[in-house]
Structure 1
Amino acid sequence: MFSIDDLKGVIPPIITPVDENEKVDEEGLKRVIDYVLEGGVHGIFVLGSNGEFYALDEASQKKAVEITVAHVGKRVPVYAGIGAITTSACIKTAQMAEAAGADAVTLLTPMFINPNEEEMLHHFKAVADAIKIPVILYNNPGKTTNNISSALLRKLAQIENIIGVKNTSLDFAQTIEYIRVTEDISSFKVLSGTDYYIYGTLAYGGVGCVAGTANVAPKLVVSIYEKYMAGDLKGAMEDQYKLIPLRNTYSYGSFPVVMKDCMNLLGLKVGHPIKPIDHCSDSRMNDIRKVLVNLDLIEPSI
């Protein structure tokens, strides 16, 4: 049974390998899961933004969750992403994830529409009330244009099975404020959703990160967390700095292709991005190779 103490560490939003028909590639997905688990991650987040959830139909989303739950086999918690626009669609996806065996769901703010704070409060509460497993909120205003304010977060954190938030805002002050306004709620935790801020989030009292770069360099990202928790602050900071060049590659292609391109370079055979997104240019792929070589993830080209 999942508990608040299980929400911690490094949780990669795993990429979703697809075949030539843009359907979930089961063997490819298993390879990704094995790779990040071997890297020591503390959870698996399926159907996140790096997992191209928005491009997968209901059947494909269900398949991705079921494969992930079965292959992880309770070794770490499985978090299933929900990114639908309407409350009813989010409830349907959340109930699917619960039935498929996910340990918790991660609920993104609606996109395209702009609900006010009262409407968002009712939306998140309705989804949380519709399932028995925990809910982690996902704030990503840069992508959805909707932002969870600290005042709204305070209210949401008091709903019984809403147990945490992943903040992907580049406004680090907001993460600090999230931690401050919920510090007296022991059943609620804050995670970094921006790979630049893993160390900083831990320093302010956060419990870990949902880090896209942990798809590619799981051992390095895990090292930031584990060194910090062991009191090796200098080592954790050094590893945070080592990670920055990989995070900087996000701008080398159209999101979220870069992590998928990186994993293909690692030899994991994860396929193509889902159209209209395409692979990075040849010149950018060369730049990415250099970053991976510098991280000792691939051998230099001869």
Structure 2
Amino acid sequence: MITGSIVALVTPMMSNGDVDWDALDKVVDFHLEKGTDSIVAVGTTGESATLNCDEHCQVIKRVVERVAGAIPVIAGTGANSTQEAIELTRSAKDAGADACLLVTPYYNKPTQEGLYQHYKTIAEAVDIPQILYNVPGRTACDMLPETVLRLVEIENIVGIKEATGDLDRAKVLIEAAPKDFAIYSGDDGTAVELMLLGGDGNISVTANVAPAEMGELCRLAIAGDADGARAIQEKLNPVHNAMFVEANPIPVKWAMTEMGLMGLGIRLPLTVLDQQYHSQVREALKTCEII
């Protein structure tokens, strides 16, 4: 089981929107040096919605090659087309990814039965560990706990990124799912409490800029050290908040530019962080001694 601090990695880009491959290597090395437990390549934070299929697969392959087996790589391979998700998942397996993260189909609003059949079909088509990803605030599609609990019976569906921030829902899943089914937070603000309930880790935006701190926070929370984990969480709260002053990954990419890790490139329809938020994000980074 993959556990701990899992960074939802950004995809660095040049000013014209092209992928910045050298900067991608640099940020992967940064996480290896800082003790991140696992990397998600090309998830929401990695701008999966605007990378074309070739770029999507190339970024995953590049991250896998750069990590070189040091930590697990989880490939974002979800789509609102079941067939496209199968193709992306198959490509990620061929590239050497350790697992795949599949967001619920966005925009087309499937039923709960449609969600079950979607994930079942992908799992049967590609023999690789697969992690469900529920983030209704972005997808307009909410996968209910009862659907998740049907899907846990499929052997290579091994976990879920629950990004609703709803701790009552997380508790239901933690208590009802098999112990070897991983429950990850996808919400930095509530991640500590989810892990203290018995969750297995956090797929994090903040980990892009504070990997060492998020790593320690996750280790303490998973070990049940509530005071220690909450103390780090309190310190990081300004950063958690700053990372969402505009749509993710706008703020985190700007923050990483301030840290000297990459340039300002981002792909339309997303734009560079509005100037009115610069001081808030910069001060959050300074408060946490990131810059």
TM class by shorter chain equals over 0.9
Q: In the alignment, what sits opposite 1:191?
A: 184
Task: Give the alignment partner of residue 44 of structure 1, picking from 39, 42, 47.
Answer: 39
**Amino acid corresponding to residue 59 of structure 1 in structure 2:** D
Q: Does 1:286 align with 2:251?
A: no
Q: In the alignment, what sits opposite 2:56?
A: 61
> Residue by residue, what CA displacement relative to the aligned partner does 1:128-178 show, whole Å, maximum 9, x if unpaired?
111111000000011001111111111101100000000110222211112
The 2-side partners of 1:122 and 1:229 are apart by 32
Matched-pair contact (CA < 8 Å) for 2:199–2:222? no
The 2-side partners of 1:225 and 1:141 are apart by 24
- What secondary structure sits across from 1:195 in the alignment? coil
The 2-side partners of 1:231 and 1:115 are apart by 37
Q: Does 1:83 align with 2:78?
A: yes
Matched-pair contact (CA < 8 Å) for 1:43–1:79? yes
- What secondary structure sits across from 1:209 in the alignment? strand
The 2-side partners of 1:270 and 1:36 are apart by 17
Within 5 Å, give how 1:69-108 maps onto structure 2: 69-108=64-103
**Amino acid corresponding to residue 286 of structure 1 in structure 2:** S
Q: In the alignment, what sits opposite 2:215?
A: 222
Q: Does 1:115 align with 2:107?
A: no
Shift of residue 76, structure 1, vs aligned partner: 0.5
Task: Give the alignment partner of residue 252 of structure 1, picking from 245, 248, 259.
Answer: 245
- What secondary structure sits across from 1:252 in the alignment? coil
> Residue by residue, what CA displacement relative to the aligned partner does 1:31-59 show, whole Å, maximum 9, x if unpaired?
11111222211101001111100010011
Q: In the alignment, what sits opposite 1:160?
A: 155
Q: In the alignment, what sits opposite 1:238?
A: 231
Task: Give the alignment partner of residue 127 of structure 1, picking from 122, 125, 134.
Answer: 122
TM-score, normalization: structure 1? Answer: 0.93
Shift of residue 244, structure 1, vs aligned partner: 1.3
- What secondary structure sits across from 1:54 in the alignment? coil
Shift of residue 186, structure 1, vs aligned partner: 3.0
Identity %: 32
> Residue by residue, what CA displacement relative to the aligned partner does 1:6-41 show, whole Å, maximum 9, x if unpaired?
x10010010001123422211111111111222211
The 2-side partners of 1:203 and 1:287 are apart by 30
Moved more, 165-174 or 108-117: 165-174
Q: In the alignment, what sits opposite 2:290?
A: 297
**Amino acid corresponding to residue 206 of structure 1 in structure 2:** G
Matched-pair contact (CA < 8 Å) for 1:253–1:279? no
**Amino acid corresponding to residue 156 of structure 1 in structure 2:** L
Unpaired stretches in structure 2, ≥5 consecutive residues:
none
Moved more, 225-234 or 86-95: 225-234
Against the structure 1 CA distance between its residues 270 and 79, is the aligned structure 2 distance closer, same or farther, given a 3 Å change threshold?
A: farther
Against the structure 1 CA distance between its residues 164 and 270, is the aligned structure 2 distance closer, same or farther, given a 3 Å change threshold?
A: farther
Moved more, 24-33 or 221-230: 221-230
Unpaired stretches in structure 1, ≥5 consecutive residues:
none
- What secondary structure sits across from 2:131 in the alignment? strand
**Amino acid corresponding to residue 62 of structure 2 in structure 1:** I
Q: Does 1:277 align with 2:263?
A: no
The 2-side partners of 1:233 and 1:255 are apart by 28
Shift of residue 74, structure 1, vs aligned partner: 0.5
Q: Give the root-mean-square deviation of aligned CA atoms.
A: 1.3
Q: What number of residue pairs does the alignment pair up?
A: 291
> Residue by residue, what CA displacement relative to the aligned partner does 1:226-272 show, whole Å, maximum 9, x if unpaired?
22345543111100111211111133223321110110000112432
**Amino acid corresponding to residue 96 of structure 1 in structure 2:** S
TM-score, normalization: structure 2? Answer: 0.96
**Amino acid corresponding to residue 199 of structure 1 in structure 2:** V
Within 5 Å, give how 1:13-24 maps onto structure 2: 13-24=8-19
Against the structure 1 CA distance between its residues 67 and 270, is the aligned structure 2 distance closer, same or farther, given a 3 Å change threshold?
A: farther
